[in-house]
């Protein structure tokens, strides 16, 4: 069992810097495309046997030090009674939106162990096969709320901010329900065998720090606190969160995920004595080998003062990234960080 990733999460000494990448299982891999050619994305997420295959691909073929459960953050909301569709090229679409009190009340509180049993089954199957730790995950309540309020992806988040500012009680009601569902979901994942947990806050970077404190932070704090007794490292990733580092620390998470928009050395000073995860620009994987080597060497050097560093990208791998460049990056991290 390669437990380098778990040691780094706990701030313990490791022989080298462990690496995994957000969205490491996905369309950039021909082996994933081969499976997706036979089955739709949502059906794939509900097929434990195939989810295991897809989760294993970047471990076996690219050498990652941790696996992330193959699923999607929106699966939980589908189980809350929000029918969901993925359109090629258009991303996720919810058939309804949640923009008023009645819509919030109509959301069901799912029972993760039953309603999302396929996820727990995937986790149990993976634990029998994996020789690296398995990361479970969920979307953070704010990010999930944006999808429900907008009805899908957004660039300006007009409806989200309108609801937040004009009907804060409705917004908070939605956040309450998402928080309760997320706690149950992550506890079920921990019981099923997940060895670390990550909360993805992909869109929270649109908030001013004061609004983060009022509308997002208390809910993340509750989730982190509820999972503490399970004893798993908890990673909080706020995308576009350079102005939210201290507040990310205030969530109580053990590991602070960093996007690429700030130098990792600066972030580490602000994070203080806990582990960090990040933060190579996903597009830097397009650099020629020598430039990539310099870039990774510099990042590793800057991250030396961290109380634990897990190498990752600053956000998910882009779908057109050449897989051989990903393999090269993994090799370079291992080689350049060996102590």
User: Is residue 171 a contact residue for ligand CP3 (CB under 6 A)?
Assistant: no
Residue numbers annotated as active site:
23, 27, 36, 72, 147
Position 154 contacts ligand CP3 (CB under 6 A): no
Please report how close the Cβ of residue 138 comes to ligand CP3 at its closest, in angstroms: 9
- Token pair of 198 as six digits: 């990550």
Taking CB under 6 A as the rule, does residue 261 contact ligand CP3? no
Residue nearest to ligand CP3 (CB): 202
Which range in 70-78, 105-113, 204-212, 282-290 contacts ligand CP3 by CB under 6 A? 70-78
Burial pattern 67-104, b for ≥16 Cβ within 10 A else e, equals: bbbbbbbbbbbbbbebebebeeeeebebeebbbeeebb
Tell whether residue 72 is a contact of ligand CP3 (CB under 6 A): yes
Site string for ligand CP3, 222-241 (x = CB under 6 A): -----------------x--
What b/e readout covers 45-59, taking b as 16+ CB neighbours within 10 angstroms? bbbbebbbbbbbbbb
* Distance in Å, CB of 17 to ligand CP3, minimum: 19
Stretch that binds ligand CP3, among 66-74, 98-106, 117-125, 212-220 (CB under 6 A): 66-74
**Binders of ligand CP3 in range 177-206 (CB under 6 A):** 200, 202
Q: Which single residue is written with the structure tokens 């258009």?
A: 90
Strands in 255-257's sheet, in edge-to-edge order, are 67-68, 134-139, 196-201, 234-238, 255-257, 275-280, 309-313
Is 73 a binding residue for ligand CP3 by CB under 6 A? The answer is yes
Q: Are the beta carbons of 310 and 277 closer than 8 angstroms?
A: yes
CA dist 169 → 86, 172, 232, 333 (Å): 30, 5, 33, 47
Minimal distance, residue 338 CB to ligand CP3, in Å: 26
Q: The tokens of 2 are what?
A: 């390669």
Residue (134 or 336) nearer to ligand CP3, CB: 134
Nearest-approach distance from CB 82 to ligand CP3, in angstroms: 13
Query: Is 136 a residue that touches ligand CP3 (CB under 6 A)?
Result: no
- Of the pair 282, 308, the CB lying nearest ligand CP3 is at 282
Residue (of 163, 141, 160) closest to 150 by Cα position: 160
Q: Which of 91, 168, 209, 273 binds ligand CP3 (CB under 6 A)?
A: 91
CB 235 within 8 Å of CB 254 = yes
Looking at the DSSP bridge assignments, the partners of residue 275 are 255
The Cα 93–Cα 290 span in angstroms is 41
Q: What is the CA radius of gyration of the chain?
A: 19
Tokens of 168: 């804060």
Is residue 96 within 8 A of residue 84, CB to CB? The reply is no
74 is an interface residue for ligand CP3 by CB under 6 A: yes
Give the residue with the Cβ less far from ligand CP3, 22 or 148: 22
Residue closer to ligand CP3, measured from CB, 202 or 337 = 202
Indicate whether 92 belongs to the interface with ligand CP3 (CB under 6 A): yes
Each residue 13-52 as x (binds ligand CP3 by CB under 6 A) or -, in order, gives: ---------xxxxxx--------x----x-----------
| Binding residues for ligand CP3 (CB under 6 A) | 22-27, 36, 41, 68, 70-74, 86, 91-92, 137, 153, 200, 202, 239, 316
């Amino acid at each position: 069992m390669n437990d380098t990733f778990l040691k780094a999460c706990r701030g313990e000494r490791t022989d080298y810097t462990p690496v995994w990448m957000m969205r490491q299982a996905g369309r950039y891999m021909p082996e994933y495309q081969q499976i997706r050619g036979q089955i739709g994305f949502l059906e794939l997420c509900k097929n434990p046997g195939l989810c295991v295959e897809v989760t294993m691909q970047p471990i076996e073929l690219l050498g990652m030090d941790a696996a992330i459960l193959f699923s999607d953050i929106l699966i939980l909301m589908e189980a809350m009674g929000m029918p969901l569709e993925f359109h090629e090229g258009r991303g996720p679409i919810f058939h309804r939106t949640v923009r008023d009190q009645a819509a919030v009340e109509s959301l069901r509180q799912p029972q993760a162990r039953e309603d999302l049993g396929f996820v727990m089954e995937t986790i149990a199957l993976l634990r029998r096969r994996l020789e690296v730790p398995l990361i479970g995950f969920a979307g953070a309540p704010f990010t999930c709320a944006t999808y429900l309020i907008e009805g899908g992806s957004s660039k300006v988040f007009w409806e989200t901010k309108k609801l937040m500012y004009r009907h804060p009680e409705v917004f908070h009601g939605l956040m309450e329900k998402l928080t309760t569902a997320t706690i149950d979901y992550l506890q079920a994942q921990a019981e099923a065998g997940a060895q670390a947990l990550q909360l993805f806050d992909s869109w929270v970077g649109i908030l001013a720090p004061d609004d983060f404190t009022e509308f997002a932070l208390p809910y993340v704090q509750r989730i982190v606190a509820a999972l503490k007794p399970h004893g798993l490292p908890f990673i909080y990733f706020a995308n576009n969160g350079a102005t939210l580092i201290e507040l990310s620390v205030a969530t109580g998470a053990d590991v602070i995920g960093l996007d690429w928009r700030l130098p990792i050395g600066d972030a580490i000073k602000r994070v203080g004595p806990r582990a960090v995860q990040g933060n190579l620009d996903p597009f830097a994987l397009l650099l020629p080998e020598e430039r990539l080597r310099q870039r990774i060497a510099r990042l590793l050097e800057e991250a030396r003062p961290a109380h634990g560093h897990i190498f990752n990208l600053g956000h998910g791998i882009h779908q057109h990234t050449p897989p051989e460049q990903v393999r090269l990056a993994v090799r370079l991290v291992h080689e350049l960080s060996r102590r």
